[in-house]
Structure 1
Amino acid sequence: MRTIIGYLLTFFTLSCFYILILKIEEEWNNVKPVSAVLEEKIQINDIHLQQNSYIYDRNNELISEHVNEQKRKYIPLKEIPDIAKQIFIVTEDSRFYEHSGFDIAGVTRAAIVNAKSGLLEQGGSTITQQLARNLFLNHEKTWNRKLSELLYAYQLEKKLTKDEILELYLNAIYFQHGVYGIETAAQYYFSRPLKQLSIGELAFICAIPNNPSLYDPLTHFTETKKRQERILQILFDKGMINKETFHAARSQPISLRLQKPVDRFPDYVTYVYDELKQLIALKEGISGEQLDKRASEVLQSGVRIYTSLDPNIQQTAINAIQTYLPYKNVQGAAVVIDHTADEIIALTGGKHYKKFDFHRAFQAYRQPGSAIKPLLVYGPYIDRFRATPYSLVSAGAFCKNGYCPKNYSNRTYGMVTLETALQYSYNTPAVRLLNKIGIEQAFAYLQKFAFSGLTTKDYALPAAIGGFTKGMTPLELTNAYTTFAHDGIFQKAYAIRKVTDLQGNVLYERPQHAKKIWSKKTNDTMRQMLAEVVKEGTAKKAYFPSPYIGGKTGTTNDYKDLWFIGLTNHYTAGVWVGQDKPANMEAISKQTPHLHIWKTIMQRAAP
């Protein structure tokens, strides 16, 4: 019996041992190397540092610099002076090209050097560790952060070459005052590119990152200068510079010349930001928060935005608004479009405009008054009924379903030509014509323009003389008038010509979507009638000698809005005058500031 039990126990023990061996083998096969675990847990994808973006005018002159939270102008390693590279290697990580991301010997050496000098001359972290901290971590002094720093540094060394790490490092390090990267520091503190700095100036800015708050040149100049001299001493001791260079660099006076970011023409630039979102939305089919996030990513990636801005005409428009609107609380906006190229060349947001304030040219929706008549009434009527400027219409009293509009000063005029009715902006003929066209049919024309505020509530007879629920922006109305320069074809105008990355690759371009509004014959008739408005009608104060000039005024009830939209052979311009909180401006209207502003701008723009 004992023998049988012994055999059974032996068999059971061997079976268990065999199963254990199988399980161990299975687990062993599932064990991942440390490197594989790091690859899985610490993933380093493509590294992109935030960079400044730039906006240019039509002459490719810089007009605005978009600065992110991190001001940075990226510079390739090959363009960084060798002495600058050597400074950071000898002061931060002398065994940079030898270690694999962390350096025990370097930590020990740094501790000894710092102990002897009584100063923090050398850091314990390698350049790779510092880069890892700047890219992926924070600056907390904890063991967890330090361990993470080591692991990230190890992964960086596996993914990148030493030169790639050094390039990223020199573009990532912090130089105080929101300045990141050595090229940005050179331009910020000395208003010159890095390659133009002397050895003394290079050593001076290279002193800052070791402790940016302590070595802040603006608040602790003396401390920064002392560290610069210690750096120069190290370079001399190591034979990297000769005695003559050492003494010259150390004795050179350091004169800071701070550079402010370029930021001109805030009215125009504010709109460019909005239009950038439009282009992104069109190309990528996104909106809302997703669009805002994407636009921020694009600007942080570093792009060049090339625009159509004409700085001379822009400044003329700004000055004209200021000159002719000295009245308190009265505002104005002007838009100028080069309709030969469908480009917005000037755009003002209001008097004394500040960047990103409420922009009256593209954000203010106002009642258009009689400025809508050519688009909603006369153009469609002539197109549908093949009318001429000399076709007749009654300017007498009109009433329908309780709606009884009046002409200016409540006068009636009997039968008049279409040309006369438009020339003097009679109201009852316009309402009569809209009634004859049919509201649906007339609005079918208006829908082709880019009026974003149109609603079905606007489909009523008062629209003939500018009665809308929300209204139009000066930019929308001015753009619509470019149709009269295009033989009846509407094309949305853009401020942006193209957006490229910093290497010149095109990311976004303005689309071309032409829409036929009416026939060329209708358009020719309208041009003739609009010319009479300026020559002898309500806009004659805007007249100046020109091969062609035409347009239409608009005044809303109680003189709350004053408009003039007009064109020459080359440009279409629109001017709006009013108060942000609509109020009566009858006294001001007699001075016709909208016409004087328009004339001043267009005379400056004339070839």
Structure 2
Amino acid sequence: MENNANLKRSERRKHKRKNENNSTIRNILKFLGYAILILIFIGVGVIGGKVWAIIKNTPPISQEALTAQSQSSIVYAKDSNGQWQRVAILHGADNRLWVPIEKIPKDLQNAFVAIEDQRFYKNNLGIDPKRIIGALIADIKAGGKPVQGASTITQQLIKNTMLSNEKTLTRKIQEAVLAWRLEQKYTKEQILEAYLNTIYLGGPNVNAYGVQAAALAYFGKDVSQLDLAESAMIAGITNNPSLYSPYANLEAATQRQHLVLKEMLEQGYITKEQYDKAIAEKLVFKKTNFTTYEHKYFIDQVINDVADELSKKLNISHDEAINKIYNGGLRIYSTMDLKIQNYVEEAFKNPELFPMNSKIKDEVQGAMVVMDWRTGEVKGLVGGRDTSNIVRGFNRATQAYRQPGSSIKPLTVYGPALESGLTAATVVDDVPTTFGNWTPHNYESSTYRGLVTLREALTHSLNIPAVKVVDRIGIATSANYGKKFGLDITKNDMYLPALALGGLYKGVTPLQEAAAYGAIANGGVYTTPITFTKVTDSEGNLILENKPLRHVVLSEQNAYILMNMMQDVVKYGTGTRARIPNMPVAGKTGTTDNYSNAWFSGFTPYYVATVWMGYDNNSISLYDTRTGTKVVGGSYPAQLWKTVMLQIHKDLPYKDFVRPSGIISATVCRDSGELPTDLCHLDPRGDRTYTEIFAQGTQPTTYCTVHVMVKINSQNGKLATDLTPPDLVKEAVFIDPPGRTPAQNAVALDGKYVVPKEYDDIVPPPQNSTNGNAPGDNTQPPPANNGGTEQPPGGETTNPPPNNGNSQTTPPSNNFPPTTNPTP
């Protein structure tokens, strides 16, 4: 019993010790449990706090963040039907063209949804848990390699527009948060539109962001024109552009396209018939070159002009304005007429329209501008014969300043002369004349026509009359009108050779000259040339509206008279090669004295155009070895002008220049510019009268005194005296040019028609005197009959007046050597 009792006590002690041990273990486990639980809570708290901090620092959703991506700009021009056509895409690092969802084909929308996020329309969480789990399982099966993406379309949009591509927990959490927020704020259509306009769809040598740029890059068409097969091809690219771009690997791209079509079929987006047709379709790829564009000279000028206006409007630098053009998604509406632009470009490809000098390596360059003179809109512009794809290069139409030669005469000579009170009938004596230490010469340096009207002087591009006119109206007046016509007249141009003959210090550009001539066509109103009409953002909101500035240069009547004079240049003068059938043309030639620049500028009732030819090296003269002649403005430039303008006008109805009110006609003497007398009809050269037009009030009111009738000895042509045998005396009509010297008369073409200055020295045989005087006592000749005088009664002097500040004849010391004798 005792043993049993001891056993029981022993067992009780063992059991007690066991219970004590179990209690200790439980306590330890309990402690550990609490500790772990505490640690878990601490961990969750720490992680939660960190996650909360990440969420708290997530940027807010904004429409600007989604849509203000770098976007390419588009330049538009009108085609022959007056419809706007895209002519250039301008982009920076990212070539992205935003289009609204309405313009994106439904097949293309469905293709992306089918291959990228098939639960897009059903899931509003922004993330897809089912897809995440599926992607995780697929990655595990692949040995841990990422083989399937889990990002929704919404997540991809967030990553592309608001977050970086770094693979961090912070970015992933923020992406999920933003995707959820985006789903709550915007519709599925808005999200899909933003996604389709931002997704990268390029590949090797292809810069394409968004479906519009991709449609152009791969198929050369607008996204709205894509069919099902093309849509599936583009949708397949996004998974791996470097692999699935058809320009990278057409076989892989085609396999991917078939997968997209299969998914669309299984998801009910297309029928089996549509699927089969798309699978069988042979795609035709047409790559659009986004690094350059056609019509580069015109578009380059558009870019410069838009940048200038943006700089002023937004108060930014020119470089910042250029950056906005290439990245701001602008829509630029140019003034280019594609039909006219193509005519000019085709003409510049024809070597027969340019001189060729086989002895010189350099190629003759050229430039041409065509404008609508009513609106100032430039319709065609080419700045060189370059056929390279270099853009933003040297544009000779707008950047090459060259001396204009005689093409300046309507602008600084005859236009100002009419405004100063001279008329088309005003007569100037074309004879050798020295101004200070300078003696100008005509193109035909040994030919002097004598008395000519301003109309004749302009028609035949005579230099001496032009210089005399500027000397007469004043250098300041001439320069002022040149500025009004848009020319860069500087202080270095305030002398006769520059203003009368075009030897300008800086020169003019073809665009400047075209605009200046346009003012004559436009009734004397100068209109600044423009190359674009407006600029909008990608949504059509107006940013710039470009309206040309206008100011009056000439009266409407004087502009019409000048235009009428310039028509004679083309009809009878130096510009006959510019004639076009069934359309009136007014124009003027120009050539510098070293033949380094040749011009023709002219206009019709529809358009004004300027052609310039020369070498980039201004010291090289224009010479054509095919014809063996030097090149002048009336040769190749006039022919090129005609070639282009013939094409432009071939379908236009005949139209004449509109004659304004206040224009009258009067018959005048062409040797005096005054009303004719009977003597003007009896000139030995024939009737010297003609009908001229005048601005009302400027027509002559006095009668011709240049034509005189005198008695001469018919045998020797000298003035008859009382001693001239009566049977040798006859009356004859001559001209008596005011102020002309014998030396000048000796070289003038009309010199032989000038009244003789010598008296008859024939002495009659002795006869019986009836009055007691010895024969021959009356030896002093009487004055010539009928008003004839030995010395002219006055009139224009051929010697320049003393320098009064308006008659400077020598160039400033800091000027280039003047071009003293430009040719027609």
Superposition TM-score, scaled by structure 1 size: 0.83
Conserved in 2, the CA contact under 8 Å of 1:133 and 1:149? yes
Conserved in 1, the CA contact under 8 Å of 2:66 and 2:162? no
Instruction: Output the CA distance in 2 between the equivalents of 1:462 and 1:576.
Output: 21
Correspondence list, 1:384-533, <5 A: 384=420, 386-411=421-446, 412-451=448-487, 453-463=488-498, 464-533=500-569
Instruction: Output the CA distance in 2 between the equivalents of 1:548 and 1:257.
Output: 48
Q: Which amino acid aligns with 2:242?
A: S
Whether 2:141 is the aligned partner of 1:106: answer no
- Structure 1's 101 and 541: CA in aligned 2 closer, same or farther, altered over 3 A? same
Instruction: Output the CA distance in 2 between the equivalents of 1:199 and 1:62.
Output: 25
SS at match of 1:307: strand
Q: Which amino acid aligns with 1:592?
A: S
* Match 1:359 to one of 387, 390, 395: 395
Matching residue of 1:26: none
- Structure 1's 351 and 233: CA in aligned 2 closer, same or farther, altered over 3 A? closer
Give, in angstroms, the shift of residue 144 of structure 1: 6.0
SS at match of 1:447: helix
Instruction: Output the CA distance in 2 between the equivalents of 1:333 and 1:526.
Output: 25
Matching residue of 1:76: 100
Whether 2:298 is the aligned partner of 1:268: answer yes
Instruction: Output the CA distance in 2 between the equivalents of 1:349 and 1:44.
Output: 40
Instruction: Output the CA distance in 2 between the equivalents of 1:231 and 1:116.
Output: 23
Matching residue of 2:89: 66
Conserved in 2, the CA contact under 8 Å of 1:95 and 1:106? no
Q: Which amino acid aligns with 1:543?
A: R
Matching residue of 1:3: none
Residues 468-514 of structure 1 deviation map (CA, whole Å, 9 limit, x = unaligned):
12110011101101121122211123232334445555443331422
Whether 2:283 is the aligned partner of 1:255: answer yes
Conserved in 2, the CA contact under 8 Å of 1:379 and 1:518? yes
Matching residue of 1:324: 353
Structure 1, unmatched stretches of 5+, are 1-31
* Match 2:635 to one of 569, 592, 602: 592
Conserved in 2, the CA contact under 8 Å of 1:398 and 1:404? yes
Conserved in 2, the CA contact under 8 Å of 1:279 and 1:509? no
Conserved in 1, the CA contact under 8 Å of 2:369 and 2:610? yes
Q: Which amino acid aligns with 1:62?
A: Q
Matching residue of 2:191: 165
Correspondence list, 1:206-355, <5 A: 206-235=235-264, 244=272, 248=276, 251-260=279-288, 263-281=293-311, 283-284=313-314, 286-297=316-327, 300-312=328-340, 314-316=342-344, 318-319=346-347, 322=350, 323-325=352-354, 327=356, 329-354=363-388, 355=391
Correspondence list, 1:198-209, <5 A: 199-209=228-238
Instruction: Output the CA distance in 2 between the equivalents of 1:246 and 1:526.
Output: 70
- Structure 1's 222 and 318: CA in aligned 2 closer, same or farther, altered over 3 A? closer
- Structure 1's 41 and 127: CA in aligned 2 closer, same or farther, altered over 3 A? closer
Give, in angstroms, the shift of residue 466 of structure 1: 1.0
Conserved in 1, the CA contact under 8 Å of 2:461 and 2:574? yes
SS at match of 1:405: coil
* Match 1:47 to one of 51, 60, 67: 67
Whether 2:596 is the aligned partner of 1:560: answer yes
Instruction: Output the CA distance in 1 between the equivalents of 2:147 and 2:53.
Output: 38
Q: Which amino acid aligns with 1:393?
A: V
SS at match of 1:388: coil
Q: Which amino acid aligns with 2:400?
A: A
- Structure 1's 542 and 85: CA in aligned 2 closer, same or farther, altered over 3 A? closer
Matching residue of 1:11: none
Q: Which amino acid aligns with 2:564?
A: Q
- Structure 1's 307 and 143: CA in aligned 2 closer, same or farther, altered over 3 A? same
SS at match of 1:435: helix
Matching residue of 2:791: none
Conserved in 2, the CA contact under 8 Å of 1:309 and 1:495? no
Matching residue of 2:149: 123
Q: Which amino acid aligns with 2:622?
A: M
Conserved in 2, the CA contact under 8 Å of 1:317 and 1:601? no
Instruction: Output the CA distance in 2 between the equivalents of 1:310 and 1:233.
Output: 44
Instruction: Output the CA distance in 1 between the equivalents of 2:103 and 2:338.
Output: 34
- Structure 1's 233 and 113: CA in aligned 2 closer, same or farther, altered over 3 A? farther
Matching residue of 1:182: 211
Conserved in 2, the CA contact under 8 Å of 1:132 and 1:153? yes
Matching residue of 2:32: none
Q: Which amino acid aligns with 2:85?
A: L
- Structure 1's 185 and 404: CA in aligned 2 closer, same or farther, altered over 3 A? same
Query: 122-131 or 260-269, which moves further after superposition?
Result: 260-269
Give, in angstroms, the shift of residue 335 of structure 1: 1.6
Query: 551-560 or 210-219, which moves further after superposition?
Result: 210-219
Superposition TM-score, scaled by structure 2 size: 0.63
Structure 2, unmatched stretches of 5+, are 1-51, 357-361, 624-628, 653-824
Percent identical among aligned pairs is 32
Q: Which amino acid aligns with 1:47?
A: T
Correspondence list, 1:11-50, <5 A: 37-39=57-59, 45=65, 47-49=67-69, 50=71
Instruction: Output the CA distance in 2 between the equivalents of 1:85 and 1:521.
Output: 64
Instruction: Output the CA distance in 1 between the equivalents of 2:330 and 2:355.
Output: 40
Q: Which amino acid aligns with 2:288?
A: K
Instruction: Output the CA distance in 1 between the equivalents of 2:375 and 2:637.
Output: 25
Conserved in 2, the CA contact under 8 Å of 1:370 and 1:465? yes
Give, in angstroms, the shift of residue 135 of structure 1: 1.8
Aligned length: 571
Instruction: Output the CA distance in 1 between the equivalents of 2:274 and 2:415.
Output: 79
Give, in angstroms, the shift of residue 442 of structure 1: 2.0
Instruction: Output the CA distance in 1 between the equivalents of 2:224 and 2:455.
Output: 67
Give, in angstroms, the shift of residue 556 of structure 1: 0.7
- Structure 1's 113 and 99: CA in aligned 2 closer, same or farther, altered over 3 A? farther
